[in-house]
Structure 1
Amino acid sequence: MALEVEASGAPLSSFLKDFPSPLGPGEPLPWSSAGSGALSKAEVPGALAERARSLLGGRGVSPLLAASLIHSAVNEVLQTDLTEFKQQNVETEGEGDEERFTLLDGESLQRCFFNKLRDVCCEWQKQLPPLRPLKRFLLVSIHAIRNTRRKMEDRHVLLPEFNQLFGLSDDTDRAFFAVFDGHGGVDAANYSATHLHVNVGLHEEIVKNPAEALKCSFQKTDEMFLFKAKREKLRSGTTGVSALIVGNKLHIAWLGDSQVMLVQQGKAVTLMEPHKPEREDERARIETLGGCVTYMDCWRVNGTLAVSRAIGDICQKPYISGDADGDSFELTGSEDYLLLACDGFFDAVKPYEVVDLVLDHLMQTKGVGLKAAERLVAAAKENGSSDNITVLVVFLRDPQDILADCLKDPKSLGAGDDAQSSPFNFLSCEAAATQ
């Protein structure tokens, strides 16, 4: 912890040197003004945190310190009277009721936030508060490519510093990871990557019932985006898959066909079933609502979307549901890694093949796992995927230990029941041990 604090002081001095005085009313923001439009009150924490994470990260402030700074500055903004930033009221029609939503002027609000952030940096430069890193081992490998698609519509979030960002000071480790696969534009994926984890962290049940907080936050994010989509005429949507590690528990939640899987002692473990229109329960739900599922090169909802649940897709609600599924699992310490990825990966690489690919990569790199995701993305592309591909690997054990266990007892580590049907048969542990 002392090393973390010592290494983090210099970037604060550099930050304050770049911004020696608060921003005045007419001065430009230190980040792109493209995201400075009107904000609902619910959007404020996520929008402010996202701008600051990018700004501080680009100036070398460690994620742990940046998250703590952001939490303090956002709290100060939320404790002020936000009515001074009121821009307009928007009327939306509910089920027989009219609700009035107040929108806030994003630019002036962000200028206020930046000045609060600068004040916190000035204070903390004198004496940094203690920063407690995770006790659990986590190593993250991430790789994402546009591939042959015209646009990149995937987004991802990795947040090992979850506790610091939301001011959770108990002794429980928490880390959050997510992958979003947008369609019909990138707006829904961008929005979800900005707000979903914030809705989780600010949920009233985050401490007592994190599984409920995670699952409910998908629906809240969907509702928030639909409000934005209605006022700004946005038509995009996004699938999403998330993993929240809380102590020795793994909580997952998902909408659509992005997936999360677990590898435990060298075996692929299926954790979930994606939401596709051809699923019997999904088809029944859609048809009960008056929609239809038809085959047009693949099964589609109302002849359009190939997923049955997503955030957004305002023109296809309620057939495209924003109600997430979730599950929870005990972590025993025998888990090797989690993998979260979009359908551009899972349509080309089967879960049992992941085990061989990662093991082959670890043998080639002598147990260095930082580019494992890059190896997996390359395999999906080689197997014919033309879609956007995002792969996020969260090692729960040191990759060198995973490799050492394999070399110690090669025959005990297989890809599971599907191993015999795997077309991959890279260097086996046994072969590597003799080379």
Structure 2
Amino acid sequence: MAAETVDGESSRKLLSAVLHDLSGPEGQPRPQNRRVSRDEAEGELSEAVLRLVGGRGGQSWLAACLVGSAVHQTLLTDLDSFVEKKQDEVEGPENDVQTGSLLDFDALLQRCLTCLQEISSQWQIQLPSAPTTKRSLLVSIHSIRNTRRKMEDRHVSLLEFNQLFGFKDGVERSYFAVFDGHGGIDAANYAATHVHVMVARHETLMSDPARALKEAFQRTDAMFLKRARRERLRSGTTGVCALLEGDQLHVAWLGDSQALLVRQGIPVTLMEPHKPEREDERERIESLGGCVTFMGCWRVNGTLAVSRAIGDIDQKPYVSGEADVSSHTQCGSDDFLVLACDGFYDAVSSSEVPSLVLGHLQENGGDGQHVAVRLVAAAKEGGSSDNITVLVVFLRDPAKILEDYLAHGSGEDEPLFDFGGGGVEVASDHAG
């Protein structure tokens, strides 16, 4: 009962903070003079309102419910009233989105903030019921610009996936992603804003989540290409996403950002990166009339070092927006999942990851909160000059993981975490 009282007080403080900030002009987002398509509206609103509500303490599930409810209520209104029409702008035939179908995002956001205020006021009187969760996940994230001029990585961690999107079917879901942009940040920002929305709203999420995750990449790519034509954008992004749904782990990827599962201290290969030198990728590119050439590394048409990505409008269709996906059943012995960009995996091998993580746990008494910092540092020390982003999801209590390894022990004068540089590759339950 005491814990419930504390949680209730914390929740009401969050609602009060939101209402206080929205009541003054300093709490209002600055106008951006942006236009968005109807397909982009949910993702763009969710991103903007999450930034406003997030980081204020309180219960994270409440923040997700608050954002999801405000966005949902906003989208129930007649969106035609937000259509922005500019008489002096004419879309050419190469632009497949008509000006009249785009929405004034500033006006739409103001409507959403009004909904946010109304819901916050209502919930101060009667709080919604807290979700019942059986799974507790610790997530550690760290990223650095490193020696690059710009930071073009983005990441997403949604432990409250169900609360954000209003799912109440009793199946626990969490979503994680790392996007590594190139040629600018626009594509990575776009993917980090929209891929998870495309997953949540896919018609097969309940029946075939792997398909939903795979096709979310394609839909996001198609949406971004429309914006790229409108706004003359040329950037692209690789990406790797993980959807935890019940006891299933689904991983989807484009390009060379990667996911690695560690099971009982052994690295498990979940995927093969999309690189031009892969025989199947080379054949696909050449069958379309493109070429793969070596210029320091293998590149598509002498430019990109990855063969699949969101965006890269000048290199379509040679650089494909079609993701691959693999699915795995968690058996209770999975330790942790690592999502990272190539700035990490080019400098740290998969076989090194378990020792680095478990060594950190040993040094910190089983506390895994900052393990991503350790992994990023290892990549930098290993010679990486690229942007580096690492996201670690502990699938078991890190203290229990350490306890299990210590219980098994090692022989005298032998390293505690010595996996012999080996790894295993497991066939997925589903791949495509």
**Could you tell which deviates more after superposition, 360-369 or 205-214?**
205-214
Q: Which amino acid aligns with 1:39?
A: V
Deviation for aligned residue 1:29: 7.1
Maintained 8 Å contact 1:239/1:258 = yes
Residues 93 and 99 in structure 1, CA contact (< 8 A), matched pair in contact too:
no
Residue 76 of structure 1 corresponds to 73
Compared CA separation, residues 254 and 92, structure 1 to 2 (3 A): farther
SS at match of 1:177: strand
Matched, 1:60 2:57: yes
* Residue in 2 that maps onto 1:432: none
Mapped to 2, the partners of 1:173 and 1:93 lie a distance apart of: 45
> For 2:43 and 2:402, how far apart are their aligned partners in 1?
39
Q: Conserved in 1, the CA contact under 8 Å of 2:358 and 2:417?
A: no
Matched, 1:407 2:410: no
Per the alignment, residue 370 of structure 2 pairs with: 371
Asked if 1:156 corresponds to 2:159, the answer is no
2:115 aligns with: 116
Matched, 1:38 2:40: no
Inter-partner Cα distance in structure 1 for 2:376 and 2:286: 36
Deviations 1:140-197 (A, max 9, x none): 0000000000000000000000000110001111000000000000000001101111
Task: Report matched runs for 1:12-411 at 5 Å.
Answer: 12-20=15-23, 30-34=28-32, 36-88=33-85, 93=93, 100=98, 102-411=101-410
Secondary structure of 2:102's aligned partner:
strand
Distance (Å, rounded) in 2 between the aligned partners of 1:17 and 1:39: 28
Q: Runs of 4 or more off by more than 4 Å in structure 1?
A: 89-94, 97-101, 411-417
Query: Cα distance 1:284–1:233, how it changes in 2: closer, same or farther (>3 A)?
Result: same
Question: Quick one: distance in 2 between partners of 1:344 and 1:133?
Answer: 38
Runs (5+) with no aligned partner, structure 1 = 22-26, 421-435
TM-score using structure 2 length: 0.91
**Structure 2 Cα separation of the partners of residues 286 and 328 of structure 1:** 26
Q: Is the 8 A contact 1:174 1:244 kept in 2?
A: yes
Query: In the superposition, relative to structure 1, how do residues 253 and 295 fare at CA in structure 2: closer, same or farther (>3 Å)?
Result: same
CA deviation after TM superposition for structure 1 residue 93, in Å: 4.8
Rounded to whole Å, the distance in 1 between the matches of 2:186 and 2:96 is 26
Structure 2 CA distance for aligned equivalents of residues 371 and 306 of structure 1: 31
* 8 Å contact kept, 1:362–1:369: yes
Q: Percent identity?
A: 57
TM-score by length of 1: 0.91
| Residue in 2 that maps onto 1:10 | 13
Superposed displacement of residue 402, structure 1? 0.7
Q: Once the 2 structures are TM-superposed, how far is the Cα of residue 9 of structure 1 from its aligned partner? A: 1.1
Structure 1: how far apart are the matches of 2:112 and 2:226? 24
Offset, 1:418 = 2.9
Q: Which runs of 5+ in 2 are unaligned?
A: 424-432
Does the residue aligned with 1:9 lie in a helix, a strand or coil? Answer: helix
Q: Give the aligned residue type for 1:71.
A: G
Contact 2:22 2:28 in 1 (8 A): no
TM-aligned CA deviation for residue 17 of structure 1 = 2.6
- Map Cα deviations across residues 347-396 of structure 1 (whole Å, 9 max, x no partner): 00001100110111011001000011000000000000000000000001
CA RMSD across the alignment: 2.0
Q: Paired residues, what number?
A: 412
